Chain A
Amino acid sequence: MNSSFDTSYDRTMPEEFRLLCMLHNIGATTSEKSLPIDRISEWTRMETSVVQLQLQKLVELDFVHCTETEGISKYHITLNGIRKVLSTYS
Chain B
Amino acid sequence: MATWEFPPRIVGGIARHCEGLAKALIRSGHEVHVITLDLPGIPYYAELDGVKVHRTAVQLGHPDFLTWALLFNHFMEKKMAAISQEIDFDIIHVHDWLAAFAGISFKHYLRKPMITTIHATEIGRAQGLHSPSSLAIDGVEWWSTYEASKVIVTSSSMKDEVCEHFRLPPEKVEIIPNGIDLSKYDISVDRQMVRNRYGINTNEKLVLCLGRLVPQKGMEYLIRATPTIRQRFPGTRFVIVGDGWLRGHLESLARSTKCSDSITFTGFIPDGEVVALLRQADVLVVPSVYEPFGIVALEGMAAGVPVVASQVGGLGEVIEHDRTGISVHPRNPDSIAWGVARVLSDPKHSAWLTENARELVQKTYSWDAIATRTVEVCEGVIG
Contact = CB atoms under 8 A, between A and B. Distances in A.
Given A11-B215, A84-B243, A88-B244, A26 B12 contact: no
Nearest to B39: A82
B61 A27 contact: yes
Contacts of A22: 63
Interface string A49-90: 000000000000000000000000000000110111011111
Interface residues of B, number: 47
Contact residue range for chain A? 20 to 34
B62 A17 contact: no
Contact of A88 (B119, B227, B245): B245
Given A11-B215, A87-B245, A90-B14, A25 B68 contact: yes
Contacts of A25: 61-65, 67-68
Interface in B36-60: 39-41, 58-60
Dominant SS at the B interface? loop
B268 interface: yes
Interface string B152-167: 0000000000000000
Nearest to A45: B63
Given A1-B227, A43-B63, 11 more contacts: A1-B334, A6-B256, A9-B253, A27-B61, A30-B40, A83-B243, A84-B268, A86-B10, A87-B212, A89-B11, A90-B96
Interface of B: 5, 9-14, 39-41, 58-65, 67-68, 96, 98, 119-120, 212-215, 224, 227-228, 242-246, 248-249, 252-253, 255-258, 268, 333-334
Interface of A: 1-2, 4-6, 9-11, 13-14, 17, 21-22, 25-30, 43-44, 79-80, 82-84, 86-90
